[in-house]
Amino acid sequence: MGTPSDRAPLAERVAELLAGDGPLPIVAAGDPVLRRPAEPFDGQLEPALLARFVEALRLTMRAAPGVGLAAPQVGVGLRIAVIEDPAPVPDEVRVARGRVPQPFRVLVNPSYEPAGPGRAAFYEGCLSVPGWQAVVARHAEVRLVARDEHGRAVDEVFEGWPARIVQHETDHLDGVLYLDRAELRSFASNDAMAERWAQATPDRAAAALGFELP
Ligand code: ZN
């Protein structure tokens, strides 16, 4: 059963969320908002409210901490996501995963398509599925078409870890969780990850847990 705020128009819902201080509460898997395609953004939030919402998404992503956050993850069914990755990782990991720094970006109405035949499979997690990670084989390169927070067109090819981030966040806006695309036999707790599977690639995990890599 929904609370009255679930049925409020989006702008009211967002204004209500922003009335609190600090990071926004993150919605966990099991909430239908994570399983519905989000509405394309078409001015449902006036510019000042959109700017405050984007700032709250940034604050919430950093506090979590995470490298991306989609509006449905704070209960708002709009096609808006933020990404940012300072990539504080050792060289070996940076090279193996292509995990290079990704500056803060706002993706409005994003969509992606593969920009090449390559696949890359690595462990990833999600702030809406806390405590767990799994290997997901994703397009190694994608072309992302979107708008930014000022309505300017974005048409850009992403590769390496940033390509993974934009696919993960755009999928959220389509009601898709990374688990839908994961090698389920790779599913591992954060403790198991830290203890056993901190290598730069999931090759050893694949052999030990019994899953395929592309
Ligand atoms: Zn996620």
Q: Does residue 3 have a pLDDT over 90? A: no
Which pLDDT band, with edges at 50, 70 and 90, does 8 fall under?
Answer: low
DSSP characters over 135-157: EEEEESEEEEEEE-TTS-EEEEE
pTM: 0.95
Enumerate residues with CB within 5 Å of ligand 1 (an ion): 126
How far does residue 127's CA lie from ligand 1's centre (Å)? 5
Which pLDDT band, with edges at 50, 70 and 90, does 9 fall under?
Answer: confident
- Spatial distance between the Cα atoms of 72 and 3, rounded to a whole number of angstroms: 16
Contact between residue 38 and residue 77 where contact means Cβ atoms under 8 Å apart: yes
How far does residue 27's CA lie from ligand 1's centre (Å)? 10
Share of the chain above pLDDT 90, in %: 94
Contact between residue 121 and residue 214 where contact means Cβ atoms under 8 Å apart: yes
Which pLDDT band, with edges at 50, 70 and 90, does 205 fall under?
Answer: very high
The rounded mean pLDDT for the chain is: 95
How far does residue 207's CA lie from ligand 1's centre (Å)? 26
Q: Which residues are catalytic?
A: 169
Burial class (CB in 10 A: 0-12, 13-18, 19+), 198: exposed
Residues 34-73: tens digit of each pLDDT: 999 999 999 999 999 999 999 999 999 999 999 999 999 9
- Spatial distance between the Cα atoms of 55 and 114, rounded to a whole number of angstroms: 30
pLDDT value of position 55: 98
User: Does 139 belong to an annotated binding site?
Assistant: no
User: Does 33 belong to an annotated binding site?
Assistant: no
pLDDT value of position 21: 85
Average pLDDT value for residue range 116-133: 98
Query: Considering only 19-23, 92-96, 173-177, which range has the smallest mean pLDDT?
Result: 19-23
User: Does 150 belong to an annotated binding site?
Assistant: no
Residues 146-192: tens digit of each pLDDT: 999 999 999 999 999 999 999 999 999 999 999 999 999 999 999 99
How far does residue 135's CA lie from ligand 1's centre (Å)? 14
Q: Does residue 2 have a pLDDT over 60? A: no
Q: Does residue 7 have a pLDDT over 80? A: no
> What structural domains and CATH numbers belong to the chain?
4-209 (3.90.45.10)
